[in-house]
Structure 1
Amino acid sequence: MASSLPRLHAVMVPIPAQGHINPFFHLAKLLAARGFFVTFINTKWTEERIFRPPNDATAISSRLQQQGMHFRFLSLPDGLPPHHPRLLIIHEFFQAIQKLSPAMVRLLQNTADEAPPITCMIADSLFACTEEVATVLGVPRAIFWTFSCSASIALTNSRFLFDKGLIPVNVKEAQRPENLITCLPGNIPPVKPTDLIIFFRSKSDPMFDIFLYVSDKQKKADYMLVNTFDELEGPGDVTGLSNGCPVLTVGPVFFPEFLQASDSSVNISTSLWEDDLDCLKWLDTQEPLSVLYISFGSIAVMSIEQLQELALGLEASQQPFLWVVRIDIADGHAAVLPEGFSERVNGRGMLVDWSPQLKVLAHPSVGGFLTHNGWNSTLESISMGVPMIGWPLWAEQYHNTRLCKEIWKIGMDIESRLEDDTVLVTREEVEKVVRMMMMTGDEGSDFRKRALKLKEAARRAVKAGGSSHGNLDKFTQDMIGIANSLSI
């Protein structure tokens, strides 16, 4: 960027959860590479878990500086007691973080001398209180959607759906074709009521009113960025998000760095767990496209009974698998797997606490992904050309699962869960769907052919001349215009 141009400064505020911090940090690096000074705000609770020695915030800032990217990391208390389980009691977590606007304003005002004047705030779509922060600071607020475009449209129109009586969702009637939701803006596929974020299934859910409030604040954005790409969800879809403001697809935000990875790249893990790199060596010993990768993300939990049924289904399938069994996956506690399970699957299956997911999905031995269909995992799988088995658990994951199965046709699902999210998925159903996926896991499968086409489309989108690359350039130019107007 020429020295005559104004110095851009973006304040980036993700929800303090791993699945949101991760894409925010990737987007931050893409903007920093375009000349932005980035202030990245975490809560102290997440900062202490993400920036582990020797990679503390100061060290990471220094490494980024060496790459020509100007960052500073700030943090503030989230207002919860130290031992509060955060997202495991999600309504208390959200109630706390939506009260952070005064503290955030003070933090930015007290550190104003350390950075150029703020050009814009880029806030998580779920961080509603940032609307007040941007207003006090007198800067535009861009919302960054870490969901699919169609799920984002459904969420930002929650108040509209409530006023029309479409939420709370009647789950028993949701599967009827006549109950498809076709009144949402944008050229998105019809939405099943059960595709909507799971908190809207009961008015008594404390998250129900919280998300209605959040959706009201989403409507007040000055700009919107979406972690998707035009070839996956077209420009016609994206227009449904606009309240009159610009909306740009900029994803997959992780992909440019992945494609350009080298020993000199600035890599930082936003994981609350340590990656088990031994799993990559184990994958090296497996046949191409033979391994089913299983992970349910960083938050979702299951009952011990469900984990045991899943384990026995994997065992019965006779398929090689790599399974991420988080230390808190069993309703916040360590998993208790069937007696003798580890010994019986030894050599064919590998269990880890956490994995370097992108490297796993890119490995030639991986032929399928059993996933909760969180948007990060879904987009990563698409970008690596890996077909999916969807096992949605909460949030907007049911929406993503249906997109993969019915719209993009790159996966299957656990059918019993779509009809009843409280059902115990049996070992027999697990065995059946795993066999079906992995038996068609060769290069000739229709799932894989379509997934590989989307992989190439994602690659084109983030490279120079691609839609997402061009949209980030456009956003940068728009912010230069704003900076110029602010300096007059």
Structure 2
Amino acid sequence: MIPLLDLTAQLASSGVTVTVVVTPKNLHFLDRLLAAHPTSISALSLPFPTYPAIPAGVENLFQLPPDAFRFMLHALGELHAPLLRWFGSQSSTPSAIISDLFLGWTHHLASQLSIPRYVFSPCGALAISIVNSLWCEIPTRRNHDDDREIIQFPKIPNSPFYPWWQLSPLYQSYVEGDLVLEFIKDSFRANTVSDGLILNTFKELEGVYLDHLARELGHSRIWPIGPILPPAEIGAVGRGGSSSVPISGISAWLDTCQDRTVVFVCFGSQTLLSNKQLEELCLGLEKSGVKFILVVKDKIESDYGVLPIGFEDRVVGRGVVIRGWAPQVVILRHTAVGAYFTHCGWNSTLESIAAGVPMMAWPMGADQFVNATLIESELDIGVQVCEGDKAVLGSDELAQHLLKATSHEWTERRARAMALSKAAQDATTSGGSSFNNLEHFVSHLSK
């Protein structure tokens, strides 16, 4: 949601009038955006549709029961009718729909209204190439009991390949006969015939995969405009939730640290580590002796999210523990941060690249395995140290990785990360590739 809202701000600053469709419990995420652009951005709040597999009152990922993501996507398809009624009530029909790749059904809505629909990709060009290949070509395993069977993608540049268990859980469920996912298959295929594709990436980072997408889609209406970062009037603080440590306190502590000596440890907004994973993680941080910022969820369950007893007392002065949301962009941009231990979500990956910070990678699911390939094998701006949301990384092994990440051993890797940071900055400033692509898209809309 965050890069989609940042895109909205950029469109508004370019003279485009935007209505953001949102469900009631997420409406507050628009507060600062609406305050910054009161005349060009408005919100259309529609009730979250009822759906048999989702309990009443549930409308965000934290509240969903396990494996219910597919039901949420199917439920969102029920917004088609109320959106159609809203369009019919307008004195003039809006000129286009922009929706993310999970809402492919909006292509059919746009066709009914005789207006274009553009896909916004919250993942990178390599990842969406994999997604398109899965849902259009439907590759399967030869041995249905072998989760480690390799699935190859020879049509995609560099011929990426992944074990079956690392592919999209939605796709795995579809192949195994989940009929609910026929709707989702249609949605993903609709993305490939929509009127254009906007991506949160930049040409200098994923040019070969952008070229591949143009060939596969059969047109050049592809606009990489990333990295999409918060505009100055919105700011980087308070974008996703509350934090247990004020940004002033975090910045003040980082100011006391030498350059490139702090490891930032954060696994995104969705991952909740088990107590065993957290125990080894914290023990590894202690053994390494490195300075660190550790972000943990403020949601705690019996077997998840509980820090080892006494850990925070033992690392006072050397580490900062943040519960809840972390001002990640601000932290990564501080010169004291030398490495980022990350789950490789695309937002986090791009924010780290934009800040010139190399990564220790622990992909957990979704597109994160693909992003880890990009980080380690293709860009060499990081090292994968673990994989899978059930894996436990031993404390001794982790301590060694932490020490290497803050030592001279990562000097060349850090230099490559800084070079990519410069390329990202150049891309998004006047005359750069992403800057020009945004202008071209706005011009395309006006025509």
Q: Same fold (TM over 0.5)?
A: yes
Instruction: Give the residue type in structure 1 aligned to 2:206.
Output: E
Query: 1:314 & 1:356 partners in 2: Cα distance?
Result: 21
Q: Does 1:103 align with 2:82?
A: yes
Query: 1:150 & 1:170 partners in 2: Cα distance?
Result: 25
Write out aligned runs for 1:81-480 (5 A). 81-83=56-58, 85-86=63-64, 89-110=68-89, 112-113=90-91, 117-163=93-139, 170-174=146-150, 180-184=152-156, 187=157, 190-193=160-163, 196-201=167-172, 203-204=175-176, 211-234=184-207, 237-240=210-213, 242-245=216-219, 246-254=221-229, 257=231, 261=232, 265-267=233-235, 269-274=238-243, 276=245, 277=247, 278-328=249-299, 335-353=305-323, 354-415=325-386, 417=387, 422-440=390-408, 445-480=411-446
TM-score, scaled to structure 2: 0.88
Query: 2:353 & 2:275 partners in 1: Cα distance?
Result: 30
Give the deviation of 1:209 after TM superposition: 5.5
3-state SS, counterpart of residue 414 of structure 2: helix
Distance 1:87 1:97, change over 3 A: farther
Query: 1:123 & 1:414 partners in 2: Cα distance?
Result: 34
The answer to whether the 8 Å contact 1:302/1:329 transfers is: no
The answer to whether the 8 Å contact 1:199/1:205 transfers is: no
Distance 1:167 1:60, change over 3 A: farther
Query: 2:76 & 2:144 partners in 1: Cα distance?
Result: 25
Q: What do you get for the CA RMSD once the two structures are aligned?
A: 2.7
How many residue pairs are counted as aligned between the two chains?
A: 429
Query: 2:239 & 2:85 partners in 1: Cα distance?
Result: 26
Distance 1:356 1:413, change over 3 A: same
Instruction: Give the residue type in structure 2 aligned to 1:38.
Output: V
Instruction: Give the residue type in structure 1 aligned to 2:383.
Output: M
Deviations 1:377-419 (A, max 9, x none): 000000000000111111110110111001000001124x2xx
Query: 2:27 & 2:396 partners in 1: Cα distance?
Result: 42
80-89 or 463-472, larger mean C-alpha shift: 80-89
Instruction: Give the residue type in structure 2 aligned to 1:152.
Output: I
3-state SS, counterpart of residue 57 of structure 2: coil
The answer to whether the 8 Å contact 1:123/1:141 transfers is: yes
Instruction: Give the residue type in structure 2 aligned to 1:346.
Output: V
Instruction: Give the residue type in structure 1 aligned to 2:34.
Output: S
Structure 2 residue ranges without an equivalent (≥5):
51-55
2:21 to 8, 23, 41: 41
3-state SS, counterpart of residue 269 of structure 2: coil
Instruction: Give the residue type in structure 1 aligned to 2:442.
Output: T
TM-score, scaled to structure 1: 0.81
1:73 to 34, 43, 51: 43
74-83 or 390-399, larger mean C-alpha shift: 74-83
Distance 1:210 1:349, change over 3 A: farther
2:7 to 13, 22, 27: 27
Query: 1:479 & 1:227 partners in 2: Cα distance?
Result: 18
The answer to whether the 8 Å contact 1:303/1:330 transfers is: no
151-160 or 382-391, larger mean C-alpha shift: 151-160
80-89 or 21-30, larger mean C-alpha shift: 80-89
Instruction: Give the residue type in structure 2 aligned to 1:280.
Output: S
Query: 2:440 & 2:115 partners in 1: Cα distance?
Result: 18
Query: 1:169 & 1:35 partners in 2: Cα distance?
Result: 54
The answer to whether the 8 Å contact 1:44/1:76 transfers is: yes
Give the deviation of 1:26 after TM superposition: 1.1
The answer to whether the 8 Å contact 1:324/1:351 transfers is: yes
Distance 1:384 1:169, change over 3 A: farther
Structure 1 residue ranges without an equivalent (≥5):
1-20, 482-488
Query: 1:274 & 1:150 partners in 2: Cα distance?
Result: 33
Give the deviation of 1:458 after TM superposition: 0.4
Instruction: Give the residue type in structure 2 aligned to 1:376.
Output: N
The answer to whether the 8 Å contact 1:219/1:243 transfers is: yes
Instruction: Give the residue type in structure 1 aligned to 2:288.
Output: S
Query: 1:441 & 1:23 partners in 2: Cα distance?
Result: 33
Distance 1:274 1:341, change over 3 A: closer
3-state SS, counterpart of residue 452 of structure 1: helix
The answer to whether the 8 Å contact 2:227/2:424 transfers is: yes
Distance 1:180 1:468, change over 3 A: same
